[in-house]
């Protein structure tokens, strides 16, 4: 079976950051000088804020800080450490785009074997676009959190010190490109980081998302103790399903198509629907077969099985390759992470502790075709 795959190697970095927003940014700038990502972090030219509906860089920074307080200070710290104007950081331009593929799931305590709330997710994209970076971030006045970065300073997903998690998957069933996003909305990674640092409950996260201009995306937020919500967003249109532990179906699933009644008419791009629906059904079958004894291994199994029977996708050349998988135990405050393709790499148990610095994890990616 292995002969059907081509194997690629990579290295993930787990960066632990601590200090003020500016100090965290400066630390990242210093690290970037010795990392391959620095080439993608800095643009040759300064961003034109008018291209995104803003008059000046100051207007752009103000909009970012309104959603994610302190982010501009962090960016300034990184720019100063790199010795470049802050307007040359790629983060500003890259933050008006769509998220990758991915799958996400949550099971509430009434259907889990140990009464914990579990969250699972896989992250799909192409190897050329991969940002292999996990961040644990501790900034005074904000919730500490662990999650994978987007454009270095944003977050695609994660769990914070209050036991709140956020995961995301692209709503690409609505088709591309989305010019609305490029002129009016922020990337998901801004909203996710804002929730992780600023919210303690699902209710607070929903309130923040209600006013956040973000892109075409599905977001699941969950809290320890047994509450969760699915938010489906297509530009200015959005719908929410909230569940509690006593819900008749106390679990949520999201891949790359829309499932809520108000949003289903947005499912127009058949190629995405074709790979999103089987993954959704595989997750649902796995959960339903395990009720009332869902465990981390329930999620690990479906995350490891290959598409269409599970979430693992080996099609990196088509931007549908699994770069990593994660299982969060919100009650224990622990993350189990597989850096690379599930089934070909070990799982690592991580939390919010640790001294500032960088730890590297080798990763294998199994590509088919």
- How much is the average pLDDT of 189-194? 93
Q: What letter does residue 83 receive in the DSSP assignment? A: T
pLDDT score, position 176: 57
- How much is the average pLDDT of 273-286? 97
Q: What letter does residue 293 receive in the DSSP assignment? A: -
pLDDT tens per residue, range 114-141: 999 999 999 999 998 789 999 999 999 9
Confidence of residue 216 (pLDDT cuts 50, 70, 90): confident
- How much is the average pLDDT of 91-101? 64
> How high does pLDDT run on average in the chain?
91
Residue 287 has pLDDT above 80, yes or no: yes
How many CB atoms within 10 Å of residue 280?
18
For β-strands 217-223 and 227-234, DSSP reports them as antiparallel
- How much is the average pLDDT of 80-105? 81
For 155-175, letters b (16+ CB in 10 Å) and e give: bbbbbbbbbbbbbbbbbbbbb
Which of helix, strand or coil describes residue 292? Answer: coil
Which of helix, strand or coil describes residue 218? Answer: strand
Q: Are 227 and 202 in contact (CB under 8 A)?
A: yes
φ/ψ of 278, rounded to 5, equals: -60, -35
pLDDT score, position 257: 96
Instruction: For the chain, give the percent of residues with pLDDT over 70.
Output: 93
pLDDT score, position 51: 75
pLDDT score, position 2: 52
Q: Are 232 and 216 in contact (CB under 8 A)?
A: no
pLDDT score, position 137: 98
pLDDT tens per residue, range 54-83: 888 898 899 889 999 999 999 999 999 999
Confidence of residue 38 (pLDDT cuts 50, 70, 90): low
Q: What letter does residue 85 receive in the DSSP assignment? A: -
Residue 44 has pLDDT above 80, yes or no: yes
pLDDT score, position 212: 78
Residue 1 has pLDDT above 50, yes or no: no
pLDDT score, position 259: 97
Residue 168 has pLDDT above 80, yes or no: yes
How many CB atoms within 10 Å of residue 263?
20
Instruction: For the chain, give the percent of residues with pLDDT over 90.
Output: 74
Nearest to 321 by CA among 361, 287, 364: 364
Query: Which residue has better confidence, 96 or 265?
Result: 265
pTM of the model: 0.94
- How much is the average pLDDT of 197-209? 97
How many CB atoms within 10 Å of residue 59?
14
- How much is the average pLDDT of 358-366? 97
Query: Using CA atoms, how far apart are residues 335 and 299, in angstroms rounded to an integer?
Result: 13
Q: Which domains does the chain have, with CATH numbers?
A: 20-94 (no CATH), 103-368 (3.60.60.10)
pLDDT tens per residue, range 309-337: 999 999 999 999 999 999 999 999 999 99
pLDDT score, position 30: 93
pLDDT score, position 234: 86
């Amino acid at each position: 079976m292995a002969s059907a795959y081509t194997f690629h190697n990579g290295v993930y970095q787990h960066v632990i950051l601590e200090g003020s927003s500016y100090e965290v940014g400066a630390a990242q700038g210093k690290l970037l000088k010795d990392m391959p990502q620095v080439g993608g972090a800095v643009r040759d030219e300064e961003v034109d804020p008018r291209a995104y509906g803003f008059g000046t860089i100051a207007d752009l920074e103000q909009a970012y800080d309104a959603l994610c307080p302190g982010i501009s200070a962090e960016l300034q710290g990184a720019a100063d450490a790199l010795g470049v104007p802050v307007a040359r950081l790629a983060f500003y331009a890259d933050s008006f785009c769509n998220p990758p593929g991915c799958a996400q799931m949550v099971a509430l305590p009434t259907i889990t074997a140990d009464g914990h709330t579990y969250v699972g997710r896989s992250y799909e994209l192409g190897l050329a676009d991969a940002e292999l970076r996990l961040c644990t971030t501790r900034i005074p006045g904000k919730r500490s959190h662990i999650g994978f970065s987007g454009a270095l300073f944003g977050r695609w997903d994660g769990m914070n010190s209050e036991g709140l998690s956020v995961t995301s998957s692209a709503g690409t069933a609505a088709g591309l490109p989305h010019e609305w996003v490029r002129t009016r909305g922020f990337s998901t990674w801004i909203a996710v980081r804002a929730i992780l640092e600023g919210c303690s409950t699902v209710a607070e996260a929903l309130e923040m998302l209600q006013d956040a201009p973000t892109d075409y995306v599905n977001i699941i937020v969950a809290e320890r103790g047994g509450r969760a919500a699915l938010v489906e967003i297509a530009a200015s249109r959005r719908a929410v399903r909230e569940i509690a532990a006593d819900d008749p179906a106390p679990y949520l699933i999201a891949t790359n198509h829309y499932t809520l009644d108000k949003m289903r008419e947005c499912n127009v791009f058949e190629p995405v629907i074709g790979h999103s629906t089987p993954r959704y059904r595989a997750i649902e079958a796995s959960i339903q077969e395990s009720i009332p004894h869902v465990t981390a291994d329930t999620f690990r199994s479906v995350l490891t099985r290959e598409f269409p029977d599970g979430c693992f996708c080996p099609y990196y050349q088509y931007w549908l390759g699994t770069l990593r998988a994660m299982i969060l135990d919100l009650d224990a405050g622990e993350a189990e992470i597989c850096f690379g393709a599930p089934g070909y790499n070990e799982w690592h148990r991580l939390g919010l502790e640790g001294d500032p610095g960088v730890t590297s994890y080798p990763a294998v990616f199994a590509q088919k075709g």
